[in-house]
Amino acid sequence: MKLIADNIRITKRSIQNALIKNDPLPIQTLAACCAQKGAHGIDINTGPLGKDPEAAMIFFVRAVEQVTDQPLFIDTTNPVAMAAGLAAARNKTIINGVSLEPAKLETILPLAKRYKNDVIGFLLYPDSRVPKTSSERFEIALELLSRIEEGGVEKERVIIDPVVPPLSWDDGLFRARELLKTIPMLPELLGFPVRTMAGLSNLTTGMRDKFRKTLVETAYLSMLAAAGLDYLLLDILNPDTRSAARAATMLTREEIFSWESLNRS
């Protein structure tokens, strides 16, 4: 299970200020720290970027690339910003992402074909609703893969994100359990070893108590690892979730266990 840092988010005041002041240092410092803590990729979550999206995305991409050569997950709903980021990047880039939402299929998916990128495929309904059951997710996965291939993108480039629901929803716990059933069955359903990804922070949306938030996240990430998840999007700077993710990954590998591979960093 590869760990993707979700720490660079436009919702953070420090990131907003860095963009406003055109100061790459806060972003570089954060990206370098994520890489040092073992991130296998950096998610650049810029949101829609309504003002001057091209320049803003190029600013983010270049700032991160100056301190790490890890893959970049370009996370925006703005197709103009997405295209600018893909064109500017030197590192490997992954489009995050597309779904059955018509606008994304029409504007984001063609970029995956043009730049030959891997692309995250969210298992959401066309109106962006999150499915409840594993069977609903399977139906969406089949339709989404078909639409992606029709768009000229090879199925092997797709990384499926079944979309982790918040536990705060009335049926959030049920949906979270159903997601765990989905992951191991997707390769057989789709007919090839499709990769999967999940955003851990979605699970605890709204929970401000760090102890309880971390407790639940570490438990669930172990369940995701056991289900065969390939990419985990998480706060790589949280030492508890980071260490739990590393341990869970080691326990699910087909290799000799080594205590020395675990550390406190």
Q: Which two tokens stand for residue 77?
A: 């709903």
Report how far residue 256's alpha carbon sits from residue 245's, in angstroms, rounded to the nearest whole number.
18
Contact 246, 2 (CB under 8 A): no
CA separation, residue 13 to residues 26, 30, 121 (Å): 11, 13, 29
Nearest-5° Cα angle at 98, 93 to 101: 160
What pLDDT is attached to residue 240? 96
With H, G, I as helix, E, B as strand and everything else as coil, classify residue 133: coil
Q: Quick one: which H or E segment has residue 224?
A: helix 210-227
Sign, CA torsion 127/99/34/225: positive
How many C-beta atoms lie closer than 10 Å to residue 252's C-beta?
15
Assigned CATH class of 95-253:
alpha beta
Per-residue pLDDT of the chain (265 residues; tens, 9 = 90+): 999 999 999 999 999 999 999 999 999 999 999 999 999 999 999 999 988 999 999 999 999 999 999 999 999 999 999 999 999 999 999 999 999 999 999 999 999 999 999 999 999 999 999 999 999 999 999 999 999 999 999 999 999 999 999 999 999 999 999 999 999 999 999 999 999 999 999 999 999 999 999 999 999 999 999 999 999 999 999 999 999 999 999 999 877 887 777 765 5
Q: What is the CA radius of gyration of the chain?
A: 18
Report how far residue 107's alpha carbon sits from residue 146's, in angstroms, rounded to the nearest whole number.
17
Contact 54, 27 (CB under 8 A): no
Q: Which residues pair with 121 in a beta bridge?
A: 98, 160
